[in-house]
Chains A and B, each alone.
Chain A
């Protein structure tokens, strides 16, 4: 797909802020009745004036720095003029010249498996419009309702250069952006509409189309895939791709034309007279100092400090909570073994249950890894313990007894091991089983002596049977061999 050219514009709600961009209304409008999180300012009532939420600018700068952007010396807001019912002032306060941040980059793993920088053109702040609720589909609705709760939410629009080469790369970019935003604690991606994407797509040499307002990363992949196929088919039939704006119909996974180039808006940008230009250059050092270790740096450090493989390091740093969890475990248990079990098993089990890392206690993981390292439990048993904790531990009831058991100095891991009769059999029991098995299977011994490895495996199987699977197969193998040689 090297002939595909994709650029993205991502609208990120800085929804970890307490209040909206230009008024004191709360940003926590999700699950509220429509039009209950509004005031004269975000409703654009006559005579109301915007007052900038400085914290939002701080957050914006934070993101800009994390995306390796240059931060402008001075920034200002513009009015972007257009009519739409979700825009109560008839203009959106946005940025134009002198946006907050310019010329950044994000490192992604490209389609070819190699890491590559995707250039960020700019990141600017703007207010979110309200939300339209159509009675039916957008083209057939009898009427449309407007909810202004979202109106005035602080948005950061991140614009990339046309550096992406496939829907998969676009997805990788969005994943990476999301991780960074969550590391910065400025963004909660779990909230509906928190990240909306406009995508520009063209085939080399052809005109580009813009697909507007796609929500969800899967949606972006689908929309891009559809649009590329559509453009390729046009090309094959020698029809020119028309430069236009298209809408992604999520239900049918197709894009439809909504506006041609001729109908393009003239937004008549001009500086917002109700806000004053801001010198932000001197804010930067203090904000820089608060930047957390970012995913790429953390990944590198995990490789170096804990000796992890790159894949494990990447998996463990994909969410800051997981990374913190891992470090909590690795400080008290074998780091590499911890990495394997958290990245390869725990994450999968959590995912399967739609749970976050909060559902598991680092202490429990420490205990499990330490027991495994000491050969006290088998790998099969580790999986069983993890599953048991997750299936029980979810309910607050259990976590209460869980806590209680801690105070009684009996951990939940211990309880499970005891209750399920897990834990490796005592050594003398294994020894006994080995001796018995060797004595009982003279024929197999003979076969082994004649050179059959399979015969030895048979005896190992017999030992495992006797110990009801609690013995370590590797250890049993060694013991059986030793016993046969002895005899």
Chain B
């Protein structure tokens, strides 16, 4: 996809292509974008048309999630409290994209501060699912997934703290990757839960994801948790012959939570059969601590969030309202005005979990569970090369259906959060439909096993038509 697009842009006009995208976005009712960087993007396209540059992503437009800092372009995390904040610097991934010639189109809608599974907690209102405007696109990178699915952008970046790239990729029928913790620098990513999150690509094809990963990954001295990259395009097409795939029994049937939707389960088993047909073998494995993952995840994520979000006091940037009074009154007012209800809930719960006397009972315990979950994966990867499961237990749900029932929303993350706790990579690729809504297959690999994950995903994709299906966008 991106390879062909690059060729098209070279012989044709990048400006024309980009203008068409912007026109489409203007007419769109999906609400995928929050800010468009029309002028700067078109300027760069014209420059390219005049003097075509090289670079792995030369003239390729890309949409960026609201929480990734872009110099000169508002970065507000879809939160009222950050409206008007224009970063004076680019995130590491943005620097890398620009260095390879990509053109930043604008920012995409998300759950406020990435806290959500549906993009409904945004201060800009929900983004709609291109496959059914009555449904959510998933979250929290809902805007980044919807714009790619609806061809409003050829590719995008999201961030994944507990499934925020894979969930919307699954709900919108595209490819989304959560890299190994540390593979992509977080410098410039507005933190929700530092120890869990990674920036990841959302694209139509696995090859495009590999290409974007090639660009954004690699060591960055400004992120102390950052690691060296591997090679992701090379060997991408080597197939799955001889690969051992583990099927974690806890990720199927009634094993966990409210259970897996039947059509979803069928689509995933079909996908396993396809992989088997391509020469892979599968076996059942067990990740016994899966049932504790959600609780541990939410305690850790909320605790870190309660601290990360303390800096938003309106003093230096962002929302400032009414008359200034004494410090405590003013910053309390700004925070109660600026944060939405889900963010407030998580700050409160996180603050509670870290409080004196509760730290050991919640945060420390969650860290111990996290170690057990990581050990589950390490043990499994001694016997198998990859793990396969549904990305989400259900297809996209209706807008408004779950937003007032936070627990049912949290439950939807049951297959994505263990991956973030363990720090391993996972991809979601389209693997069929539940009714008219897409279903995602999740392939998980060992730490820094992106090459294998991508290779298997690519083999599967090449053997199936699901990534070519397009929604009839209204």
A residues lining the B interface (CB < 8 Å)? 40, 43-52, 79, 81, 83-85, 88-91, 143-144, 146, 266, 268-270, 273-276
B11 beta carbon closer than 8 Å to chain A = no
Nearest B residue to A35, CB-CB: B316
Q: A81-B306, A91-B310, A274-B225 are in contact. List 15 more A-B contacts (CB 8 A).
A: A40-B89, A46-B69, A46-B77, A46-B311, A47-B68, A47-B69, A47-B188, A52-B224, A79-B307, A90-B310, A144-B327, A268-B359, A270-B359, A273-B194, A273-B195
Contact status B316-A46, CB under 8 Å: no
Once bound together, how far apart are the Cα atoms of A11 and B370, in whole Å? 36
B458 vs chain A, min Cβ distance (A): 32
Nearest A residue to B194, CB-CB: A273
Main secondary structure of the interface of A (DSSP, over half): loop
B435 beta carbon closer than 8 Å to chain A = no
Once bound together, how far apart are the Cα atoms of A251 and B327, in whole Å? 24
Q: What are the 9 closest A-B residue pairs judged by CB atoms, nearest first?
A: A90-B310, A268-B354, A273-B195, A273-B194, A46-B190, A47-B188, A47-B69, A90-B311, A89-B311
List 15 interface pairs A-B (beta carbons < 8 Å), by A numbering: A44-B311, A46-B82, A47-B68, A49-B186, A49-B224, A52-B224, A81-B306, A83-B328, A90-B311, A90-B313, A268-B351, A269-B359, A270-B363, A273-B194, A274-B223
Once bound together, how far apart are the Cα atoms of A49 and B194, in whole Å? 10
Residues of A within 8 A of B82 (CB): 46
Residues of A within 8 A of B193 (CB): 273
Partner of B316, one of A43, A81, A91, A273: A43
Partner of B189, one of A47, A84, A276: A47
B residues lining the A interface (CB < 8 Å)? 67-69, 75, 77, 82, 85, 87-89, 91, 186-191, 193-195, 221-225, 303-304, 306-307, 309-313, 315-317, 324, 327-328, 331, 351, 354-356, 359, 363
Residues of B within 8 A of A47 (CB): 67-69, 75, 87, 91, 186-191
> Which has the most chain B C-beta neighbours within 10 Å: A40, A49, A51, A274?
A49
Residues of B within 8 A of A50 (CB): 224
Residues of B within 8 A of A85 (CB): 313, 315, 327
Contact status B224-A275, CB under 8 Å: yes
Contact status A40-B225, CB under 8 Å: no
A409 vs chain B, min Cβ distance (A): 56
B113 vs chain A, min Cβ distance (A): 10
Residues of A within 8 A of B188 (CB): 47-48
Residues of B within 8 A of A84 (CB): 327
Once bound together, how far apart are the Cα atoms of A85 and B225, in whole Å? 29
Contact status B307-A91, CB under 8 Å: yes
Residues of A within 8 A of B324 (CB): 143
B287 vs chain A, min Cβ distance (A): 24
Nearest B residue to A39, CB-CB: B89
Residues of A within 8 A of B69 (CB): 45-47
Contact status B356-A266, CB under 8 Å: yes
Once bound together, how far apart are the Cα atoms of A273 and B359, in whole Å? 16
Once bound together, how far apart are the Cα atoms of A269 and B221, in whole Å? 26
> Which has the most chain A C-beta neighbours within 10 Å: B82, B85, B89, B224?
B224
Nearest B residue to A274, CB-CB: B194
Nearest B residue to A144, CB-CB: B327
> Which has the most chain A C-beta neighbours within 10 Å: B77, B82, B194, B310?
B310
A393 vs chain B, min Cβ distance (A): 48
Contact status A88-B88, CB under 8 Å: no
In the complex where A90-B310, A273-B194 touch, is A268 in contact with B316 (Cβ < 8 A)?
A: no
Nearest B residue to A45, CB-CB: B87
Partner of B307, one of A51, A52, A81: A81
In the complex where A40-B88, A273-B195, A276-B225 touch, is A268 in contact with B355 (Cβ < 8 A)?
A: yes
Once bound together, how far apart are the Cα atoms of A212 and B438, in whole Å? 61
Residues of B within 8 A of A48 (CB): 187-188
B153 vs chain A, min Cβ distance (A): 22
Once bound together, how far apart are the Cα atoms of A29 and B383, in whole Å? 57
Contact status A276-B354, CB under 8 Å: no
